[in-house]
Every structure is written in C-alpha cells, then in structure tokens.
C-alpha cells in the first residue's frame, strides 16, 4: 500500500540530519497509525500507535528545542510555544479518541497540516539560520 505520508526531501528537509531523521521517524509512526486506522485494526493496536506517536513527538520537540538552543536560534521562544500548541491539539485528539474509540479524519488532516505547515514553514527556518551562521 502506498504510504499515506511521504517525507519528500525537496519539501521537508530542514538541512539538519539528526532532525530530518527524527521527522522521518515520526512520519513512519504516522503511516503505521494511518494503516491501522484504515485497515480496521483492533482498537488496542490503533491506541498503541497513537501512544507511540505521542511519546515520539514529545521527545522530538524536546530534542528540536535543545538543538535550536545550541545554535542560538533567535526564534526559539515562539517555536517552543508552537510546539506546546501542537502537543495540546494532539492530546485533545487522543482524548477524543479514547472517548469515541475511533480516530476521526480530522485527526489525519491535523497531522498533514502539521507536516506541511510546521516542518516546511517553521522548522526549516532554524535550518536556514544554521546554514547562514556556518557560512558567515
Ligand atoms: Fe518544530
């Protein structure tokens, strides 16, 4: 089956290998979750993938914030707030899932929007900052 989420280097690289790898790891979990969702896997398996994604996302945001700090990225404070917002939305979706015992399409729209808007628009800025400072 074709992957639902694709890590396309030309669009999603942040030019920091460690962070690219983490983004790819998150996308792999998102695909696993989506696959279980559409194939009608047992609810416990959907929940396991959802929990895995939550834990990996929390760890990734912390790593990313540490990375931004290490390169003296000036946008760290607002980026951290965006992360907190995303985690809040994620937790709300997880709460809804536990109440309804199913994931809504809206949840996958949220993940897609996060990928496209956040990685492409927001995360790439610290990569650009790092590149600029290296060549300076
Ligand atoms: Fe980020």
Within 8 A by CB and 6+ apart from 70, the residues are: none
**Phi, psi dihedral angles at 2 (to 5 degrees):** -65, 145
Name the pTM for this structure: 0.93
Rounded distance from Cα 41 to ligand 1 centre (Å): 30
Q: How far, in Å, CA of 33 to CA of 13, rounded?
A: 22
Q: What is the pLDDT of residue 1?
A: 61
What confidence tens digit (pLDDT) does each residue in 43-67 have?
999 999 999 999 999 999 999 999 9
Q: For helices 17-38 and 43-70, give the axis angle rounded to 10 degrees.
A: 160
- Domain map (residue ranges) of the chain: 25-135
Segment 104-112 shows an average pLDDT of 93
CATH 1.20.120.50, domain 25-135, yes or no: yes
Confidence check: pLDDT of 2 > 90: no
CA terminus-to-terminus distance, the chain: 45
Rounded distance from Cα 64 to ligand 1 centre (Å): 6
Segment 105-114 shows an average pLDDT of 92
**DSSP per-residue string spanning the chain:** ---SS---HHHH--S-HHHHHHHHHHHHHHHHHHHHHHTT--HHHHHHHHHHHHHHHHHHHHHHHHHHHHTT-TTHHHHHHHHHHHHHHHHHHHHHHHHHTS--HHHHHHHHHIIIIIIIIIIHHHHHHHHHHHH-
Rounded distance from Cα 105 to ligand 1 centre (Å): 23
Burial category of 64 from C-beta neighbours within 10 Å (exposed 0-12, middle 13-18, buried 19 and up): buried
Q: What is the pLDDT of residue 135?
A: 59
Rounded distance from Cα 92 to ligand 1 centre (Å): 19
Confidence check: pLDDT of 5 > 70: yes
Segment 28-33 shows an average pLDDT of 96
């Amino acid at each position: 089956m074709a992957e639902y989420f694709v890590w396309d280097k030309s669009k999603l690289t942040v030019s920091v290998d460690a962070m690219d790898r983490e983004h790819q790891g998150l996308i792999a979990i998102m695909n696993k979750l989506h696959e279980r969702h559409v194939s009608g896997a047992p609810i416990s398996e959907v929940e396991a993938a959802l929990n895995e994604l939550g834990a990996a996302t929390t760890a990734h945001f912390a790593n990313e914030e540490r990375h931004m700090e290490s390169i003296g990225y000036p946008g760290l404070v607002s980026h951290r707030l965006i992360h907190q917002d995303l985690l809040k939305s994620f937790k709300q979706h997880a709460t809804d899932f536990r109440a309804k015992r199913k994931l809504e399409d809206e949840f996958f729209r949220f993940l897609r929007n996060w990928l496209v808007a956040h990685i492409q628009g927001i995360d790439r800025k610290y990569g650009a900052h790092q590149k600029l400072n290296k060549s300076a």
